[in-house]
């Protein structure tokens, strides 16, 4: 897939990079493909997409930490209510994350979290516009398929009118 076809307006969800906020807690910010995240002001398309996913997983981690704090409270009605609120907050962030997945999946973007003790510690992000070595793909791909169609009895392949067209085909 050619990522150049992603409309400019869809490249940013409007999410703010949490690293630029006061109160940022770095222990909840996952690494990206085993490395430090791209800079806050990254302009390369794949980096911007990665930052959107990292922001979502940072928020998931923060909400999960809040849930763990609530679970330290002795079992009570207040704890049950606080736990329900935390689950609702987690669900809201999961909806944002799912929206990013839906938005970028048609372009071959896959974000897989690496989770340790309930927290996303690394985010494996792959892009449809780069190969396994990280090099930009520039070739367009043609996908073909074979669909068997039975010939009527008594007909020979030579009797079927055919015409072949396309690049690299030398017509007679």
C-beta separation of 98 from 111 below 8 A: no
Helix extents (H) in the chain: 45-70, 77-104
What phi and psi values does residue 74 have, to the nearest 5 degrees?
Answer: -55, 145
CA–CA distances in Å: residue 33 to residues 51, 65, 71, 132: 12, 23, 31, 12
For residue 126, the tally of other CB atoms under 10 A from its CB is 14
Report the percentage of the chain scoring pLDDT > 90: 59
Domain presence at residue 45: yes
pLDDT of residue 89: 96
Domain presence at residue 31: yes
Long-range contacts of 31-39 (CB under 8 A, 24+ apart): 31/121, 31/122, 31/123, 32/122, 32/123, 32/125, 33/122, 33/123, 33/124, 33/125, 34/122
Model pLDDT for residues 71-127, shown as the tens digit of each residue: 999 999 999 999 999 999 999 999 999 999 999 998 889 999 999 999 999 999 998
C-beta separation of 60 from 26 below 8 A: no
Task: Tell me if the pTM is above 0.75.
Answer: no
Q: pLDDT confidence of 31, banded at 50, 70, 90?
A: very high
8 against 76, higher pLDDT = 76
Residue 51 to residue 136: CA distance in whole angstroms: 19
**Dihedral sign computed on CA atoms, order 59, 60, 64, 67:** positive
Domain presence at residue 27: yes
C-beta separation of 91 from 145 below 8 A: no
Domain with 91, as residue range(s), is 6-126
pLDDT of residue 142: 59
Domain presence at residue 148: no
Q: What is the mean pLDDT of the chain?
A: 83
Domain presence at residue 134: no
Maximal CA-CA distance, the chain: 84
Domain presence at residue 1: no
Q: What is the number of domains present in the chain?
A: 1
Domain presence at residue 159: no
Looking at residues 14-23, what average pLDDT do you find?
A: 86
Looking at residues 31-51, what average pLDDT do you find?
A: 93
């Amino acid at each position: 897939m050619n990522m150049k076809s992603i409309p400019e307006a869809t490249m940013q969800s409007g999410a703010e990079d949490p690293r630029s906020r006061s109160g940022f807690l770095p222990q909840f910010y996952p690494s990206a493909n085993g490395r430090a995240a791209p800079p806050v002001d990254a302009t390369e398309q794949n980096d911007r997409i990665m930052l959107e996913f990292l922001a979502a997983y940072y928020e998931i981690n923060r909400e999960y930490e809040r849930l763990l704090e609530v679970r330290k409270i002795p079992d009570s009605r207040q704890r049950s209510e606080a736990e329900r609120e935390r689950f609702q907050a987690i669900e809201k962030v999961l909806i944002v994350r799912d929206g990013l997945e839906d938005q970028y999946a048609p372009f071959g973007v896959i974000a897989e979290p690496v989770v340790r003790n309930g927290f996303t510690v690394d985010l494996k992000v792959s892009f449809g516009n780069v190969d396994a070595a990280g090099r930009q793909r520039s070739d367009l791909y043609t996908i073909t398929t074979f669909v068997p169609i039975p010939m009527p009895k008594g007909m020979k392949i030579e009797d079927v009118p055919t015409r072949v067209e396309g690049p690299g085909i030398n017509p007679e």
